[in-house]
Structure 1
Amino acid sequence: MLRLTSALAGLATATAAIAAPPDTSHAASHPGYRQKPAAASARHAPPPVRDEAITVFGHGSTRQMTSITRGMMQQSVPGTSPLKVLSELPGVVYQSADPFGAYEYSSQIFMRGFSQAQLGFTLDDVPLGDQQFNNYNGLSVARAIISDNVAGVDVSQGAGAIDVASTSNLGGAIEIHSLDPSHQRGGAISQTFGSNSTFRTFVRLDSGDLNTQGTRFSVSYARLNGNLWKGAGYDHSDQVNAKIVQPLAHNSSLKAFFDWSSIQQFDYQDMTMNYLHTVGPDLANYYPDYSAAYGAALGSYRPALLKTNDPFDAAYYAGTANRVDYLGGITLDENLTDRLNWKTTLYAHDDAGYSTWSTPYMPSPNGAPLSQRIQTPGIARGGFETAATYSIAGNRINAGVWYEYGNFTEARYFSQAPLLGQGTLGNPTGGFPSADVFATAWQEAFSSNTFVFHLQDTYQILKNLTVNAGFKSMIVNAGNSVPTQDLALNGTAIAQGHLEASNAFLPQVSANWRFLPHHELFFDVSHNMRAFPEDGYNTNVSATPWTTSQAAFQSTAANLRPETDWVYEGGYRYTSPFISALGSLYRINFSNRLQLITTGAAIHPITAVQNVGGVTTNGAEASVTLRPATGLSIYNSFSYAHSTFDQDVVTATGVEPTQGKLVPNYPQFMYKGNITYRIGGLEVHVDGSYLSHRELTYTNDLHAPGYFLANFGTRYVFGDAGPLKHVTAGFNIYNLANKTYIATTNELGNNFVNTGYNYFLMGAPRQFFGTISAGF
């Protein structure tokens, strides 16, 4: 992978050296980020407005679009995941057990009832997969790009554009764009510090224009260290981003980027309602107290845990995640004529790492009553996207192909724990304990081929009426082999075999009518399909057909169908310098919904994937941003979604009464608000969000209560100080009222009923952060 990314960077450098003579036009010397026209791709930013608050609505788009600008992201603490910033949009729910959204196991986003595994994600057109914790075909947004380098995020709440590179976007799409290197030589530095010993450093260097053509590059580094807000353990990451831009003639460009990231994260303990009500929200694992974990495995518990209904599983020694990723890509965006554009992206990604979980369910051969369970996911994938756009007689015809080949490997091992008094398990992030491995439960290897073709035409029928119509064809063939498995450990033969998800015609039609100045109507209808997700045996992470036994896989494979849906949306949009408003209605008809059903303790669950049939969702959203005075902006949004199962579900144990029940994990009602005031170099903002209760079971007999969460932030630009430019100080308070609330749900799957093992993670209490930053 290192050789491949080096080759990509080398290709960009070589091309810069032999580039055609520069175009003398202003646009050619400053190509920047070129977006396609709104009607063609529905990714068009609206005209600039004064003192924009939290959202920029998709003026001119044929579907519901919202853009998050760089200025909006700067209201959050540096290092905050771009997905967390999206939580202020209507219909979007983002949850995390930490204030940054950096703890990946707890990172969870829903949009109009669709989970992150049913949405599409890209970075500069490169597919990032479905954002599951054990991602098999992509990379977490937080690891793919340093948040300080995000130029903006385009969000399609209803349905992603046809040309979005995703095989999972039953719902909307989230497209992230990175900052180009600056034309001016210099850089930026920032230092953040705060609660839980948080210490984050960011440094960026920009070369500026190296020649008259505008060749330039940037290199960035970010480092985060912080402790967990409860219990011992930490969250640590290092990340490097690099990007080079070579302008070409006719406002064309060649761009290459590279990302390296390394994370070591300790887990928060999964909670249940019983744990919450008996021990409280601060329940944590034993780390680094090895003797306490050792004693618990023998049945001797801390007094607080004796109050619970299951002290054996209320805490473990520790759980961790350790990952190293390399991601690289190169994009040629070539205007062949004034009517014909050709854009091609090549990319590659390599991921390696391991997760640990100390388990009292597996004793060690030396007599210790516990051991360490280790899982080793790995990804090696590469692909290309190429598309041509031709404009003629009011039409913009766009056609393209996306191909990706992927390898996903995963294995589960058990390593020996020392006897009490002869050492400890130590820090599980310190390296893979290969010398202590005494059992290999299984090893799996997946391979997949993805091929997607799309064709669309955007026709401007009248000056104020635009229609977009097209379709995509998708084939995803995936299969696995199980070279190693221990029947005694697993209790059954592990599923292996091939599945294909294909559909030759997935259409989409959308339109935009600007019937008066500032006023427009839009609608969109789309048919979508999601490929079968991949994951190892009994991993309780994704609703994958391969998580079960060979017998269960064979009995369902012949009749198993990929998830599909029809999405209908329509709305009204108003855009002016003083007010931006958006209202929309939508309906979703979901077929063959696959759900992960779990029973048993978190570390030793019984998992199964069930086709729960159809789901129907009806919803409405409304947003408005007011700018009543210079420097003042007020944003409010409201959303409602009624998402229910269409029928009861038949299982091996009988009929589960799910018909008419609300889909778990997503609230019916949400309110989001933000008030921002700017005067001179000072900016102050307060934002808040309300979520109604969320169901935790498929039969709705247990739910997470609703809550209101508020945050505060302020920044002041002091100006220049010697060689430093725009010296700025910032201060943020997360969870202003110190609310105790349930954040992540469904991290281990949902149950049909309240079994006592209905897991969730708590949100962080009030947190304080300060930042000093400057350019040079």
Structure 2
Amino acid sequence: MQRVTLLSLLTAGTAFVTMEGQCTAAYAASVSDVGRIKKTSVVKEKVPEELKVSTRRAQRGAMVTLSASALEKAVPGTNPLKVLAQLPGVMFQSDDPQGVDTWSAQLFMHGFMQNQIGTTLDGMPLGELVYYNYNGLNPVQAISSENVSRLDVSMGAGAESVASTNNLGGSIEYHSSDPKDKLGATVGQTFGSNSTFHTFVRMDSGRLNKTGTKFYVSYMRNDTAKWRGGGMQFMQQVNSKLVQPIGDHSQISAFFDYSDLDQINYQDYTLNMLHTLGYKVDNFYGTGPNSYANAYKAALAAQGLPGGSYPAGYNKLSDPADASYYAGATAIQDYFGGLNLDFQMADHVRWKSVVYGHGESSHLPWTNPYFSSPNGAPITETVQEPSIRRFGVTSAVTYDVAHNHISGGVWYENSKFIANSFGYQEPLLGQGSALDPLGNYSKLTPAYDLWGQTTNTNTFTAFVQDTYNPIHNLSLHFGFKSLLETSRVSQNYNLESFTGVSALASGVGLTTARAFLPHISGDWHFLRHHELFFDISENVHAYPLAGFKTGAAPFAVSQQAYDQSRSSLRPESDWVYSVGYRFTHPVVQASLYAYRANFKNRLQQITSGTIVNPVSSVLNVGGVTMNGVDAGLTLTPIRGLLLYNSVSYDHATYDTNIEQTGTTYYLHGQQVVAYPRFMYKSRLSYQWRSVEAHIDASYMSKRNLSYVGDTKVPAYWLANMGVDYRLDHDNSPFRYPGFLQKIIFSFNVYNLTNTKYISTMGENGYPMNGDYQSILLGAPRQYFGSVRAEF
């Protein structure tokens, strides 16, 4: 039976509304008084359980909550951020259908890039959502998607309580599921196109004693062959969580994650490559017995040496030398975890603290055809070997008094980021095997110490906020955040013949300090089914970090370039204003959301040259002004049927032109790179008894590749479909053992119409004008079948 459940849970000082079976346009009116729990009402309605996306008005403004039920509709192992992209104004891109290729995974929310969105897991900061992460880890490496209970998404720049230094455009808070109260297990298996093989096993202990101690341990493994080129993409992960209740209203919980990710990467494309050679070009690795010989000959040709040659058709390219290398890969190991303390100190006082730690080691190899090995081979395996070590603590107190919900807290983190790059010798042709891109480089001695930097960072934030309910249907929020972060960089290595500079940025430091970052919001349920809300906030992005030439960071350049840019460097900051309206009815749900962002001091990486050793600079491209609107409509005319449609329009343009090396680039008025001006999303689903089927479609308008807008990637349509068949003891047509609680069969098709499209953009930076090797292609049609059993 479908339902809309209104829970007036005021331990957080605002109404919490869970709406099963409705899209983000839906919002149920609720009323509550601070500090007291009112009655719970259950309204029975003919609403199909579809996205199971709930919308919550939290103390920091508009929030959308994506539940575990929504994640279950996707192919097992799918990146939750890919599911999040069903929401208006959100764009997720990846070159693989599950969205777990960390090189290509890319997220935008209302024009803000993924490194401008704060992210946490159970209150533990995950840092910036970028490939070259310096202060955290990708969420898919932090938790298996099957263990995610929900995602709380704030679209504004407020979220002052979130442990983040980069939430200019919003925040995403992951929450892990708790262990179950009863002993049990979950086993899931997925098979799919390109030898996809996804396995998930979880064991729940159940309550072990009278105090309620319980835990779970899970193992996940994901294997898939690349749909283009050779090689595999592999990941395995262990999660564990322990919960220990203390009395009736307090608890301690611990979460641990180990992840091992080994992926052969897809080769980056240019528009010229796409138009000349089509969709099948990739690196040479894994394409046959002559893969190393082909890469060797191409490297000879790139250096103009005798015996060199390119594959057929490559000479038609404007840059045949960079179309295919031998290989590129990603190998990352993470250990991540923390302890959550949640205590009720008095009737209206709670204290929550999180202590966490994280260690990461990586090997990121790319075969370089421009730099020879000491033995004379025209190829060197250049391997970036970044590592992260960080520890931190958050602590906050909440106090409910009269009509106020007051809270304040702090966050401190110490981190050390080492970014080194080494060169390993490859064999002469016919004198041995090429190095394994995913081999154990720690056992090898590098031929070259190419470059290296170490950055030490201390981060401190504090916040105070109050949500005030003057009347039962109105909440007003006031708060502010303070931030102080200091980073200092030193040089480890610099091989001038490789880097082309006499010194890397070293012996210098940067400080980001803001004492008062305000946030104001309000929420008014002025009539039954009708709601108005607004949100105003200011925030700042602490200076990002990156190794030499690997990101839009002030230290990722030479000492000379840093000295030249230092006077113009400012931390990115913005003011974001938003206003919204929602109408909720059992048959019709509608929403309208408008926003404006004034973005100052946007740092961007300007690149040219080869992608293995680019000519790269980091510039303050000035301000960006964004004006946008989302509109959503959901119809549920009959029981089990749901039709959802949304449109998003974002006019995000640069405020000024840029002058570089004596040339003026006319950015003023151009749409920001990589983000479409218009998006449309639609979903049709129908549930009949134990069977549910859905089909969704989305449209992305063209996107700018260059800053001046002279090169764009084309618009595209993408469609997906899926069917689920669920059996449990209540609806099974046949008898099965009592220990088997539930079994789910599912079938999914990705890219139903086999559309050829460009997915990720800017993974190697963006050019000022013209074409550049910094786009990735979306996967063709893929099929997946899954079975999941709960015991």
Aligned to 1:17: none
Are 1:250 and 1:335, in contact at CA under 8 Å, matched by a contact in 2? no
Question: In the TM superposition, what whole-angstrom CA distance separates every residue of 1:507-555 from its partner, at most 9, and x where no partner exists?
Answer: 000000110012110000000100111111122xx21001111012123
**One-letter amino acid of the counterpart of residue 388, structure 1:** V
The CA distance in 1 between the partners of 2:594 and 2:545, in whole Å, is 33
Equivalent pair of 2:8/2:17 in contact (CA under 8 Å)? no
Q: Tell me which moved more, 127-136 or 46-55.
A: 46-55
Mean Cα deviation higher: 489-498 or 93-102: 489-498
Answer yes or no: is 1:763 the counterpart of 2:760: no
Secondary structure of the equivalent of 1:408? strand
Match of 1:4 in 2: none
Residue range with higher mean Cα deviation, 420-429 or 529-538 = 420-429
| TM-fit CA distance, 1:224 | 1.0
User: Who is 1:297 aligned against?
Assistant: 299
Q: Distance in 2 between matches of 1:543 and 1:39?
A: 40
Amino acid at match of 1:495: A
Equivalent residues of 2:611, 2:773 under 8 A apart: no
Deviations 1:701-754 (A, max 9, x none): 010111110001111123353232212211100000000000000101111100
For residues 500 and 387 of structure 1, the distance between their equivalents in structure 2, rounded to whole angstroms, comes to: 25
Match of 2:18 among 26, 30, 46: 46
Instruction: Report the equivalent of 2:579.
Output: 570
Moved over 4 A (4+): 33-40
1:165 is aligned to 163
Match of 2:324 in 1: 315
SS in 2 for 1:306: helix
* 2:147 pairs with 1:149: yes
- 1:501 correspondence with 2:502: no
**Are 1:582 and 2:591 counterparts?**
yes
Deviates more, 1:744-753 or 1:156-165: 156-165
Q: Which residue of 1 aligns with 2:100?
A: 102
Q: Equivalent residue for 1:751?
A: 767
Q: Is the CA contact (8 Å cut-off) linking 2:190 and 2:199 kept in structure 1?
A: yes
**What residue is the counterpart of 2:133 in the other structure?**
135
Partner of 1:511: 522
Which amino acid is the alignment partner of residue 523 of structure 2? N
Matched with 1:249 is 247
Distance of 1:460 and 1:697 partners within structure 2 = 48
Asked if structure 2 preserves the Cα contact closer than 8 Å seen for 1:90 and 1:672, the reply is yes
Is this contact kept in 2: 1:90–1:637, CA < 8 A?
yes
- C-alpha separation in 1, matches of 2:8 and 2:116: 28
1:183-194 matches, within 5 Å, as 183-194=181-192
CA contact (8 A) 1:602 1:757 kept: no
Q: Which residue of 2 aligns with 1:114?
A: 112
Deviation track 1:305-328 (CA, whole Å, cap 9, x = no partner) reads 222121111100000010110011
Which of the residues 473, 476, 500 maps onto 2:482?
473
2:787 to 755, 772, 776: 772
Amino acid corresponding to residue 630 of structure 2 in structure 1 = E
**Which amino acid in 2 is paired with 1:66?**
V
- Conserved? CA contact 2:489–2:509, under 8 Å: yes
Residue of structure 1 in register with 2:44 after alignment: none
Alpha carbons 1:243, 1:255 under 8 Å: kept: yes
> Shift of the alpha carbon at 1:698?
0.7
Matches within 5 A, 1:622-633: 622-633=631-642
CA contact (8 A) 1:39 1:466 kept: no
Query: Normalized against structure 2, the TM-score is what?
Result: 0.91
Where structure 2 has 5 or more consecutive residues not aligned to the other structure, the ranges are 1-6, 22-46, 302-308, 730-735
Distance 2:625 2:177 in 1: 39
Tell me the SS of whatever aligns to 2:637: strand
Correspondence 1:639 to 2:648: yes
Aligned-pair identity (%): 45
SS in 2 for 1:180: coil
- TM-score (ref. length: structure 1): 0.93
Aligned to 2:453: 444
Q: Which moved more, 1:648-657 or 1:702-711?
A: 648-657
In structure 1, what is the Cα distance between the partners aligned to 2:586 and 2:352?
34
The residue aligned with 1:25 is: none
Letter in 2 for 1:746: G
Cα distance change, pair 330–485 in 1 and its aligned pair in 2 (3 A): same
Unaligned stretches of 5+ residues in structure 1: 1-32
Residues 69 and 152, structure 1, Cα contact 8 Å, conserved in 2: yes
Query: Is residue 730 from structure 1 mapped to residue 746 from structure 2 by the alignment?
Result: yes
After TM superposition, list the pairs within 5 Å mapping 1:32-431 onto structure 2: 44-48=16-20, 50-54=47-51, 56-61=53-58, 63-288=61-286, 289-299=291-301, 300-431=309-440
CA shift for structure 1 position 170? 0.6
SS of equivalent to 1:312 = helix
Instruction: Say yes or no: does 1:604 pair with 2:613.
Output: yes
Q: Tell me: CA distance 1:34–1:665, structure 2 relative to 1, closer, same or farther (3 Å).
A: farther
- Post-superposition offset of 1:431: 1.3
Contact 1:54 1:635 in 2 (8 A): no
Inter-partner Cα distance in structure 1 for 2:630 and 2:54: 13
Q: What does the per-residue CA deviation read over 1:447-474, in whole Å, with 9 as the maximum and x for residues that have no partner?
A: 1000000000100011111100010000
Structure 1 residue 579: Cα displacement: 3.5
Give the C-alpha shift of residue 340 in structure 1.
0.4
The 3-state SS of whatever aligns with 2:320 is coil
Partner residue, 2:543: 532
Relative to structure 2, which stretch is displaced further, 344-353 or 628-637?
A: 628-637
| RMSD of Structure 2 on Structure 1 (CA) | 1.6
For 1:600-644, what per-residue CA distance to the aligned partner results, in whole angstroms no more than 9, with x for missing partners? 122221110010111100000012332222222222111100000
- Contact conserved, 2:673 with 2:706, CA < 8 A, in 1? yes
The structure-2 alpha-carbon separation of the partners of 1:36 and 1:269, relative to structure 1 and needing over 3 Å to count, comes to farther
**Contact 1:691-1:706 at 8 Å conserved across structures:** yes
Query: Contact (CA 8 Å) 2:268, 2:773: kept in 1 or not?
Result: no
| 1:55–1:589 Cα change, 3 Å | farther
Distance in structure 2 (CA, Å) of the matches to 1:129 and 1:708: 32
The verdict on how the C-alpha distance between 1:412 and 1:204 changes in structure 2, with shifts beyond 3 A counting, is: same
